[in-house]
Amino acid sequence: MTSTKVRLFIITYDITDDKRLRRVFEYLKQWGQHVQYSVFACALGPTSLATVKTELDALIHHDDDQVLFFDLGAEASRAQRAIDYLGVPFGPKQRKAIVL
């Protein structure tokens, strides 16, 4: 999805219940890249962002949980350069096959 309207968001969450935590994790896996515990990088257009916010809103408990959205800007421009790292490089995680 490449468009000037697509923006890169870092979405973080703090969910106090394990069942809701798993639901939020599984939901966000559909939309973006799992970066670290409770952190996703998602390239979203305006409609997708509204959908994600609406559906996450229904998954969380507003008195106990928190979801934060950090807008890094247009995906096609400086957003990809806005992420720096130490240690393991940032990028899609490679799956490793295990032969038993």
Distance in angstroms (rounded) separating the CA atoms of residues 56 and 35 = 18
What 3-state class would DSSP assign to 12?
A: strand
CA nearest 41: which of 10, 81, 80?
Answer: 10
Does the annotation place 71 within a ligand binding site? Answer: no
Q: In what order do the strands lie in the sheet with 66-74?
A: 33-36, 39-44, 7-14, 66-74
List binding-site positions.
14
List binding-site positions for Mg(2+).
14
